[in-house]
Amino acid sequence: MRHVESEQLLRYADGELPAREAREVRAHLEACWQCRTELEHLQETVGECVRYRALLAEHLPPPPAPWMNIYRRFEQMDARPARPPLMVRLCAAAAGAGVARWAPAAVALTLVCALVVYEWRNAPSVQAAVLLRKAVEAAEERSPAPHRLRIRTKQREVSRMVAAAQPASVDPAANETLANLEALFRAANYNWDDPLSARSFQAWRGGLEDKRDEVADLGDCYRIRTTAETGELMQATLKLDARDLRPIESRLEFRNSEWVEITEIAVAPATPPAPVAVAASRPPAAPGRVVETAPRAATLSDELQVLAALHQVGADLGDPVEVTRAAGRILVSGVGVAPERRRRIEDALDDLPNVVVRFSDPGDAEPLPPAYISERAVGGGRPAFDARLAEQLGGRLHFERLAAELLDRSEAMMSRAYALRRLAHRFPPEAESQLAAADLVLLRGLGREHAVALAEQAAAMERLLVPALEPLGGTLPGALPDIAPLPWQPAAEEIFRTARQVETLLASMLGAASGQVPAAGLPSQLLAGMAELRARVDTYVGWRGAPPPREAGAARR
């Protein structure tokens, strides 16, 4: 019998032999006492070596200095490569704060306007993209109100309503012009439903393969001009008000030498904010015209059913899905929704009347290329505060786990806050008055569900934050602030505002945002914000403030 050589035996014991050879050695060892004993001796020596290592560890001098804080060094390294523009870092901070995915970051408008100047140094395409993005955010922040547009073409001038049913004009020529324009816009992939908006411009621009941008600062407004190499629309120009980035004017030049200029017609402030009034009741200009084209125009109640159906499949929480009601129909549109998700949404809406579902995939909705992400999304200089927090939590590792969980919670909280606010915008008191009792119950139920879910996330955040912040000087207000009961729509708005504030403070605390708030007061401010949020939600849901009043502490935890 050929015995196993000592090197082979060591490699066998170390698991370094190829499988076949190892099998042979194993079989041999089973058969051969001598080699097995040899292996045991080998293992003994290995054991001695391990003990020797431990002995050495005991007698070698310990490190002369404390170990560095490696997490701080990571951050310095993260901050070192070409710092991304301020705007980009700000967005990263907003993202870090857990803004709902599709919802806009509500960066304060004044800040936006001030910061736009930072972007001027960039290439026009970046300037245009950033400016449009900011304008879209700003538009999202405004409540969508119906408005009237003046549309001039080579031949004539017409007007039309946006975000409300279009009362058919008595002038057949105007109707024909509008129909022709709609066809032209559709052929050019330009959103006809909302032609004077940053979003529509952005969507068209994002779909272009080959384009050239120009951005000009005209003092009171910015002008973005994009020229396309291909497609029906040759050039589009959008002017944005420098103060609030509201679209002022748009000019589109088509390849067939047609051009269109769109401006908004100022609406008297007294105009009822009524998608409702126009759509559900008879349009004043031509009663019955809407009914002619659709057997029954979609009502506010139908819209509510659509929202409830979307809610059933969770599509009101972060999916890029929008619901609008116009021309007697309810349009459910989604951008960049995954195919499987589309099917679920379509299934959920299948039985509902007057619903048109439209999904699209603009190229710009794709995730950012990884290289770009890695360059930009890492925050810049962190305030020292989060380092103190990390220390408080017994190390960076714990801090980062906590941060990750808080980010998740905050994101979930904000998606509820956005959903609740959308409901409040869509169903103002005047709209509610048109709803049947059952619809009102459904509506209140949806709102309440969002508020309760928001409260759960906020409570979980508070449980994480209180023990971490109290030792850093954060004090929880002794009693919840008193919140005057409000109608549910303004209450929802206030809940949203407070949640945003909490989110922003949290971002500062986690070091994701450049700390606009002095670190010393931060823990208390954050806890006070959380308490206010809780008080608002409790009042909204009826846990507090409403009869029979509950003890303030009862709902606290």
Partner 1 sequence: MLTIESLGGELAGAVRQKRAVLRLHEQVGRLFEEAREDVYRYLLTLGLQPAQAQETAQEVFLRLYATLRKGEEIRNARAWVFRVAHNLGLKVREREGAEAPFEVDLEARLRSQAPDPERGLLERERALRLHRAVEALSAQQRRCLYLRLEGLRYPEIGSALGISPSAVGEFLRRAVARLRKAHSE
The footprint of partner 1 on residues 374-393 (CB under 8 A) is 374, 376-379
Which residues from 329-348 bind partner 1, rule CB under 8 A?
A: 335-336
Q: Does 266 bind partner 1 (CB under 8 A)?
A: no
Three-state SS annotation for 145-157: CCEEEEEEECCCE
Residue among 276, 228, 490, 509 at smallest CA distance from 385: 509
Q: Does 365 bind partner 1 (CB under 8 A)?
A: yes
Nearer to partner 1, 321 or 526 (CB): 321
Q: Give the residue, chosen from 78, 217, 244, 258, that forms a contact with partner 1 under the rule CB under 8 A.
A: 78
Number of residues engaging partner 1 in binding (CB under 8 A): 86
CB of 218 to partner 1, least distance (A): 22
Nearer to partner 1, 181 or 198 (CB): 198
Q: Give the residue, chosen from 31, 338, 397, 479, that forms a contact with partner 1 under the rule CB under 8 A.
A: 397
Q: Give the residue, chosen from 31, 34, 37, 77, that forms a contact with partner 1 under the rule CB under 8 A.
A: 77
Q: Does 19 bind partner 1 (CB under 8 A)?
A: no
d(CA 325, CA 274) in angstroms, rounded, equals: 11
CB of 437 to partner 1, least distance (A): 37
Nearer to partner 1, 137 or 538 (CB): 137
Three-state SS annotation for 263-281: EEECCCCCCCCCHHHHHHC
Residue-by-residue DSSP string for 385-406:
HHHHHHHHTTSHHHHHHHHHHH
Q: Give the residue, chosen from 3, 26, 34, 74, that forms a contact with partner 1 under the rule CB under 8 A.
A: 74
Show the beta-strand stretches assigned E in 200-328.
211-217, 221-228, 233-241, 247-254, 259-265, 321-326
CB of 289 to partner 1, least distance (A): 37
Q: Does 368 bind partner 1 (CB under 8 A)?
A: yes
Which residues from 465-524 bind partner 1, rule CB under 8 A?
A: 512
Beta pairing partners, 330: 325, 355
How much of the chain is helix, strand and coil, in % rounded to 5? Answer: 55, 15, 35
Tokens representing residue 458 in the block: 């906020």
Q: Which stretch binds partner 1 (CB under 8 A): 10-18, 235-243, 429-437, 475-483?
A: 10-18
Three-class secondary structure of residue 372 per DSSP:
helix
Which residues from 33-72 bind partner 1, rule CB under 8 A?
A: 41-42, 44-46, 48-53, 55-57, 59-61, 63-65, 67-68, 70-71
Nearer to partner 1, 223 or 376 (CB): 376
Residue among 248, 253, 243 at smallest CA distance from 266: 248
CB of 137 to partner 1, least distance (A): 6
* Distance, C-alpha 28 to centroid of its chain: 64
Which residues from 176-235 bind partner 1, rule CB under 8 A?
A: 202-203, 205-206
Q: Does 364 bind partner 1 (CB under 8 A)?
A: yes
Sheet with 321-326, side-by-side order of all strands: 321-326, 329-335, 355-360
**Dihedral angle sign, alpha carbons of residues 508, 514, 520, 525:** negative
Q: Give the residue, chosen from 3, 23, 26, 73, that forms a contact with partner 1 under the rule CB under 8 A.
A: 73
CB of 203 to partner 1, least distance (A): 8
Q: Give the residue, chosen from 16, 40, 347, 391, that forms a contact with partner 1 under the rule CB under 8 A.
A: 16
Residue-by-residue DSSP string for 413-482:
HHHHHHHHHHHHHHS-HHHHTTS-HHHHHHHHHHHHHHHHHHHHHHHHHHHHHHHHHGGGT----SSPPP
* 401-440 footprint of partner 1 as x/- string (CB under 8 A): x-xx--x---x-----------------------------
Tokens representing residue 466 in the block: 């209180």
Question: Do 321 and 347 touch, CB atoms closer than 8 A?
Answer: no
CB of 84 to partner 1, least distance (A): 11
CB of 92 to partner 1, least distance (A): 5
* Distance, C-alpha 296 to centroid of its chain: 35
* 95-124 footprint of partner 1 as x/- string (CB under 8 A): xx-xx-xxxxx-------------------
Residue among 283, 275, 321, 322 at smallest CA distance from 300: 275
Which residues from 270-289 bind partner 1, rule CB under 8 A?
A: none
Q: Does 323 bind partner 1 (CB under 8 A)?
A: no
Q: If you count them, how many residues does the chain have?
A: 557
Q: Does 394 bind partner 1 (CB under 8 A)?
A: no
